[in-house]
Amino acid sequence: MEMDNINQDSIFVKDEESKAQNMTIAKEVEKVLNEKMEIPNGYIEIKLDSLGKLDAPEVLHFRNYSMEDATELASTKDEDYLQTLVKCLNRMVWEKFDCSLLHEKELEEIMCNIYLIFWGKLLEGYQYYLDNTIEDSEEKEKKENIGTTIIDITQLKTKTIDKDFKEPIKVDIKGKVVKFRLPRLRDMLLAKTFTYKKYFKDERELSDIQNAVDKKKEISYEDSEKLKSYKENKSRDFIKAYEASIIDEFEGKKLITLEDKINVFSKVTLPYWKNYEKIVSEKLNFGIDPLVSFIPETNYVNQKDDKGNYKYPEFVDENGNAKPIIRGFSFQPMDLLPTMELPDDSGVIVSYGD
């Protein structure tokens, strides 16, 4: 299919609407007010690589986790951790900013900085493929091909967002325009709420069947199919709601509610999504670089095969010494939450009495 008018000028919107202008002015006013406020002791400054081009300002300040925060995060269910984390971050941030408006790369930066300053620079137990050249997925995922390493946060590299970027992202195909924006954490939370409400009745009706499955009891084929269909439909609608949430405008109509966006989701054809994804992957890689250089642990470096050759030649130089390798890592928020283990902090003094 031939596509007309697809270029960077048609992707990055140059003409701001009045609402966008007002939002920009409001952000500038908020920035000035925040600069005039004296940040209390205990708050750290975090400069975001999104450069204030999304909802978050260029700089935010966060305090360490309180016992209330740590307890709440430790006791939350996996499926609720994002909502709980946003709630805690809203208590921890100095500025009057709703952390549900963060992009996932902004969240990653914030979590890594909080961990670095308050809990230490080393992240333990990060897994990677020892032999990254294996093409067969099952072979690659085998336990014996998985190594673990310690990542030094101070060695992570970051990249700022494209200097010309401005939301919304406009895709013009033969005069028909769809505008998108980058996703926020709130989109994930709203999509979850949407599917929860939509499938609440089904979930209640199937709860006995699900309990039987959880207890490893036998269920009928009919019940099994009902449960399978419910889970597939719920998962599909969640993905649909989440993807629809980033549609900002369709055929000249500004979309406000999630329901409005879901209603036009099927009308946004594949070429629009392809061009949106292309510009995001090529131009909007910002934040922490997932590719990390590190030296593998000695026990992996020294491993040899039956012929006496190094099992992982990528790990050693011509003199048989360990050398850095590069692997991709994902820094998930749950991996960066505080633990009850004390960081190595020589600045802490504990004493008795007065």
Q: Which residue has the higher pLDDT, 318 or 110?
A: 110
Q: How many independent structural domains does the chain possess?
A: 1
Report pLDDT for 114.
96
Answer whether residue 13 shows pLDDT above 50. Answer: no
Pairing between strand 287-288 and 291-294?
A: unpaired
Q: How far is CA 113 from CA 26, 117, 145, 203, 249, in A?
A: 27, 6, 31, 39, 35
Report pLDDT for 77.
87
pLDDT grade for 5, boundaries at 50, 70 and 90: very low
Place of tokens 């007002």: 22
For the segment 22-47, the average pLDDT, to the nearest whole number, is 71
Please name the helix (run of DSSP H) or strand (run of DSSP E) that holds residue 47, with its range, or none: strand 44-47
Q: List pLDDT tens digits, range 247-272.
A: 999 999 999 999 999 999 999 999 99
Three-state DSSP state, 205 = helix
Q: List pLDDT tens digits, range 202-253.
A: 999 999 999 999 999 999 999 999 999 999 999 999 999 999 999 999 999 9
* C-alpha–C-alpha distance, residues 314 and 131, integer Å: 9
**For residue 46, what are the β-bridge partners?**
60
Answer whether residue 180 shows pLDDT above 70. Answer: yes
Provide the mean pLDDT of the chain.
Answer: 88
Residue 203 within any structural domain of the chain: no
Q: List pLDDT tens digits, range 56-78.
A: 999 999 999 999 999 999 888 88
Q: Which residue has the higher pLDDT, 193 or 76?
A: 193
- DSSP states along 243-301: HHTTEEEETTEE--SHHHHHHHHTTS-HHHHHHHHHHHHHH---EE-SEEEEPPPHHHH
Q: List pLDDT tens digits, range 113-133.
A: 999 999 999 999 999 999 999
Q: List pLDDT tens digits, range 270-303.
A: 999 999 999 999 888 899 999 999 999 999 999 9
Residue 317 within any structural domain of the chain: yes
Residue 79 within any structural domain of the chain: yes
Q: Which of 198-202, 334-338, 346-350 holds the top average pLDDT?
A: 198-202
Residue 157 within any structural domain of the chain: yes
**For residue 159, what are the β-bridge partners?**
287
Answer whether residue 182 shows pLDDT above 80. Answer: yes
Answer whether residue 16 shows pLDDT above 90. Answer: no
Report pLDDT for 22.
55
Report pLDDT for 79.
86
pLDDT grade for 338, boundaries at 50, 70 and 90: confident
For the segment 186-191, the average pLDDT, to the nearest whole number, is 96
Residue 217 within any structural domain of the chain: no
Report pLDDT for 30.
57
Q: Which residue has the higher pLDDT, 13 or 187?
A: 187
Residue 107 within any structural domain of the chain: yes
| Alpha helices in the chain, H assignment, sequence order | 8-11, 18-36, 67-75, 81-92, 104-119, 137-140, 185-198, 200-205, 207-214, 221-244, 258-265, 270-283, 298-301
Residue range of the domain that includes 52: 38-163+289-336
Residue 109 within any structural domain of the chain: yes
| pTM as predicted | 0.83
Report pLDDT for 320.
86
Report pLDDT for 9.
43
Residue 250 within any structural domain of the chain: no
